[in-house]
Amino acid sequence: MATDQAALLEAARRHLYPNYRQPPFVLSHGRGLHVWDLEGRRYLDLCAGIAVSTLGHGHPRLTRAIAEQAGKLIHVSNYFFNEPNLRLAEALCRLSGFERVFFCNSGTEAIEAMLKLARRHFFDRGERERHQVVAFENSFHGRTLGALAVTGQAKYRDGFGPLSGVRHAPFGDAAAVERAMTPDVAAILVEPIQGEGGVTPAPPGFIPALREIADRHGALLLADEIQSGVGRTGRFFAFEHEGVRADATALAKGLGGGVPIGALLCREMLSGALPPGSHGSTFGGNPLASAAALAVLEVLESEGLMERAARLGRHLAARLAALAETHERHVATARGVGLLQVVVLRDHVDARGLLERLREGGVLLTLAGGQGLRFSPPLVVEQADLDEGVDRLDALLKGL
Ligand code: PLP
């Protein structure tokens, strides 16, 4: 068996399916905001595995919850109740204001469940013509065929068609949504902040306009908060900034702090749409993932991480705005909410190259929307960590 980093990289080259573009090192462990590779190099993690590692790495509450649950009960299937899952359902409904939750294992699965919920809701009400979804250009909702159909970016869709049952409107254009609302529309699906599309917040007033349009046309309003949810923007849901409630919301990513879990939350009026046998998941809601998510939510509340995301988000926004001004020649803009923000580089800048140089200097970020360098750090990040990331980027931009 391969033991050192070089041998493992050779194993990757020979055996891993080559659908990703990993850099040439192997991560071995982490603590707080840092991760280390097998050769002992340390990296500041300001991406959190794409907005997943809510509590950073090795948080004692999360590791203890996982270890204790692993020793107690890992899996029973949904033929039976399990305790952490019921406690998690209670906590999620309390924090979110929703009444019902269905558990699955990823964001994509939560989206699939939400699309099925919408169709089946109208089917049961005898409105069988309602099966279309209005979604948005530049959105990302996942990679299975249903989630891909609602995704509004050619780079994810090309070659996988036919993808049907959806109409894409320009993000932020309420008049275009209104025009798309034919009687066959079951739901409007929206990311309040388009994450993969480039960390683009909906323009003010757009989400309330969608709520009004959906209500007037008798359609559902579905929120994808997979990237923006679980406190990242300073509120549990990004939707809350606009004072709007969706009929159902998909969560995943940050919910398990790194342990795979997805959730579909919905209002009581939708609780009959997926009766026994109509939808399910072998692993969804298993005790291990549930115990992890419960620990994440407990720490989120007890350590005030949402308030922290709001406060540090203001600091990060101010620093990135200043960076954009200083490097106007290379930076088009900076935007985002809370601890989900992006620096958008101008087209002449090699964004991937810059990301690599940052990484070589020991700072991890991810790309969003092609030219965007995305900050999505653990919510336990310190101001000094954010400053370190921005300072490194500043130094690299100076050298361009
Ligand atoms: N929806 C949004 C907004 C996302 O950002 C993602 C993942 O990046 C997904 C859905 C898909 O989630 P997953 O990769 O867990 O299936």
pLDDT in tens, 49-59: 999 999 999 99
- Would you mind telling me the total number of residues written for the chain in this entry? 400
Percent of the chain surpassing pLDDT 70: 99
pLDDT in tens, 190-244: 999 999 999 999 999 999 999 999 999 999 999 999 999 999 999 999 999 999 9
Phi, psi dihedrals of residue 353, rounded to the nearest 5°? -65, -40
Q: What's the CATH code, domain 73-302? A: 3.40.640.10
- Checking if the pLDDT of 3 tops 80, the result is no
What are the sequence ranges of the domains in the chain?
5-59+304-398, 73-302
Closest CA to 35 of 67, 4, 58, 6: 58
Average pLDDT estimate for 305-327: 98
Catalytic residue among 45, 224, 247, 385: 224
Per-residue pLDDT, 147: 98
394 assigned to active site: no
- 92: phi > 0 → left, psi -120 to 50 → alpha, else beta; which? alpha
Per-residue pLDDT, 175: 98
What stretch of H or E contains 367?
A: strand 366-368
Minimal-distance CA residue to ligand 1 atom 15: 107
Ligand 1 neighbours by CB, cut-off 6 Å: 50, 106-108, 111, 140-142, 191, 195-196, 224, 226-227, 252
Average pLDDT estimate for 358-376: 98
pLDDT in tens, 135-155: 999 999 999 999 999 999 999
pLDDT in tens, 81-116: 999 999 999 999 999 999 999 999 999 999 999 999
Minimal-distance CA residue to ligand 1 atom 10: 141
224 assigned to active site: yes
Average pLDDT estimate for 233-262: 98
Per-residue pLDDT, 66: 98
- Which of the listed residues 141, 199, 259 should we mutate to test ligand 1's pocket, taking the one with most ligand atoms within 8 A of CB? 141
253 assigned to active site: yes
Structure-block tokens of residue 316: 């990060």
Give yes or no for a contact between 214 and 182, defined as CB atoms under 8 angstroms apart: no
Topology (CATH level 3) of domain 5-59+304-398: Aspartate Aminotransferase, domain 1 (3.90.1150)
DSSP line for 151-199: ---HHHHTTS----SEEEE-TT-HHHHHHH--TTEEEEEE-SEETTTTS
Percent of the chain surpassing pLDDT 90: 99
Residues 6 or more apart from 112 whose CB is under 8 A from it? 104, 142, 144, 146, 147
Distance, in Å, from the CA atom of 390 to the CA atom of 66, rounded to the nearest integer, reads 33
283 burial (CB, 10 Å; 0-12 / 13-18 / 19+) is: middle
- Checking if the pLDDT of 2 tops 90, the result is no
Cα separations (Å) of 248 from 9, 113, 329, 334? 42, 10, 42, 30
| Distance between Cα 329 and ligand 1 center (Å) | 32
- Which of the listed residues 145, 253, 283 should we mutate to test ligand 1's pocket, taking the one with most ligand atoms within 8 A of CB? 253
| Distance between Cα 228 and ligand 1 center (Å) | 10
Distance, in Å, from the CA atom of 273 to the CA atom of 125, rounded to the nearest integer, reads 9
Residues 6 or more apart from 252 whose CB is under 8 A from it? 106, 107, 109, 110, 226, 261, 262, 263
- Checking if the pLDDT of 1 tops 80, the result is no
| Distance between Cα 96 and ligand 1 center (Å) | 19
Structure-block tokens of residue 215: 């209500």
DSSP SS3 for 303: coil
Average pLDDT of the chain? 97
- Which of the listed residues 47, 108, 139 should we mutate to test ligand 1's pocket, taking the one with most ligand atoms within 8 A of CB? 108
Give yes or no for a contact between 229 and 191, defined as CB atoms under 8 angstroms apart: no
| Distance from chain centroid for Cα 142 | 10
